[in-house]
Amino acid sequence: MRVPLRLPSLPLRLPPSLLPLLRGMGTQPRLVTAAYVALAVFVSAPAWIVKHPPMMDLPFHLATIRIIHSLHDPAFGLDSHFVLTLGRTQYVLYYLLGSLLAYPLDVVKANVLLMSGYLGGTLLALRELLSALGRDERLSLFSVPLLVNAMFMFGLFPFLVGIPLMFLALAASVRYFEAPTRGRGILLCLLALALFYSHIFPFALFGLGFAAAVQGSGGGQRAPELADWKRAAGQSVGALTVPTYENPASVRVLDRLLSHEGPERMRVFQEERGREVECTFTRGVAQAGSLGFGPTIPANKFTCPGGGFVGVSVIATLDYTPRRCFYAPVMSGSAGIRIRFQDVAIGRTLHGHHALYVEAERGKSGAPVTIAFSFDQGPLGRFVHQDGEGWKAFDVSTEAFAGQKKELIADISSTDGNRRMYCFEADTR
């Protein structure tokens, strides 16, 4: 969308020391910037053009700033009636900034400055976001008629101050993902933190925008395993493009073990005291937790005595790449887990990968986990995963059994079950 409006673009002379800062913010030292600043001052007039703006919650905000600013001032005697408990509310940024600005100004003027920061700052912050996105900056002018709104008349200032912070944080996100630097990362973190302590709603909107920025931040980069693949096609949805690549050395996959998920095509046993105890297939609800919980426990899984289980989940490997695999954590006190995959189409090779959850193996202090494949006729191959190896590949020849359908047995074991959040996948080819 193009707006039929032309602003002068003569160069504006600024001290050389300010040029790197302005370039870092993505702005240009031009007269048009001064015009936007002048307009921002003009649109902030509702905050200072009258002595007592008719806003419903204005007295409450002024009183809160005064209490924080003068809590221990004997002239007010507020500390005999109030206790400062900033940790009980999230909306503290507005009042802390007001108290800080009240030192060189006073409480009323500090609040006027914060109100002006919302009115004029929203225009400038939206312009910065449009600039970061490569869009027409003049679209920010359409925000001017919307600045004095119902929320402004109610006086919901902590929420309103979050609006320009949200646009600035989104602009910082776009610029960070375009060219990540430590400085841009620190700026983004500070803006996100300030936004969080301003108001939850603009912070939530920022979270949605940040997620979109993460999705669209590939910048043409590929996963290492796709380095030699040629792009065949791509589908665009807005600013996000999902490309399709062709494998230059494709192989015919006969059977994927993940396709055997469920009681119809596989059975699971837990080995205890030299005997196999069959695990029951259960259907339920997926379980996820906070930091340290590990991968999501799948809703549908084989549940074993003592808390062990086997099911298909997605694990974050050592490089934080999500991988879909059989999640089969080794439990303490158990001799191991045996999985019997039934009617597997056998080819010339059994190819697969295995790993542990990133937090379980990055410390490189856990016991190795072993997976051994076999048929009833005898062993095929045995593979050990050591902490720090990440998504590790393995291959074993099955050429002697090619063309047959057989029961494939996988035995998983470890000498110590402490945080052995193990996951594997394999196919025949």
**pTM (predicted TM-score):** 0.56
How far is 207 from 241, CA to CA, in rounded Å?
A: 21
Nearest one of 32, 50, 30, 52 to 40, comparing CA atoms: 32
**Is the model more confident about 47 or about 20?**
47
How far is 316 from 355, CA to CA, in rounded Å?
A: 9
The token duo for 195 is: 């936004």
List, as one string, the DSSP characters of 224-269: GGGTTPEEEEEEEETTEEEEEEE-TT-----EEGGGG-STTTEEEE
Asked whether the predicted pLDDT for residue 14 surpasses 80, the reply is: no
Q: What is the pLDDT of residues 324-350, one digit of tens each?
A: 999 999 987 667 999 999 999 999 999
**Is the model more confident about 233 or about 411?**
411
pLDDT at 244: 85
Cα–Cα distances (Å) from 192 to 63, 289, 367, 409, in that order, read 27, 24, 40, 50
* Mean pLDDT, the chain, integer: 88
Q: Which residue ranges make up each domain of the chain? A: 16-215, 255-428
Beta bridge mates, 406: 344
Nearest one of 189, 129, 216, 172 to 24, comparing CA atoms: 172
**Is the model more confident about 402 or about 307?**
402
Q: What is the pLDDT of residues 113-125, one digit of tens each?
A: 999 999 999 999 9
Burial class (CB in 10 A: 0-12, 13-18, 19+), 34: middle
pLDDT at 216: 58
pLDDT at 72: 92
Least confident of 14-18, 61-65, 369-373: 14-18
Contacts of 259 (CB under 8 A, 6+ apart): 265
Contacts of 63 (CB under 8 A, 6+ apart): none
Contact 122, 130 (CB under 8 A): no
Asked whether the predicted pLDDT for residue 181 surpasses 50, the reply is: yes
pLDDT at 3: 38
**Is the model more confident about 295 or about 4?**
295
Average of pLDDT values for 100-126? 94
Q: Classify 163 as helix, strand or coil.
A: helix
The dihedral built from the CA positions of residue 360, 361, 364 and 369, taken in this order, carries a sign that is positive
Span between the terminal Cα atoms of the chain, in Å? 53
- Options 3.30.200, 1.10.10, 2.60.120, 1.10.1740; which CATH number does 255-428 get? 2.60.120
Position 56, amino acid: M
Asked whether the predicted pLDDT for residue 23 surpasses 80, the reply is: no
pLDDT at 26: 46
Dihedral of the CA atoms 220, 225, 229, 234 (nearest 10)? -50
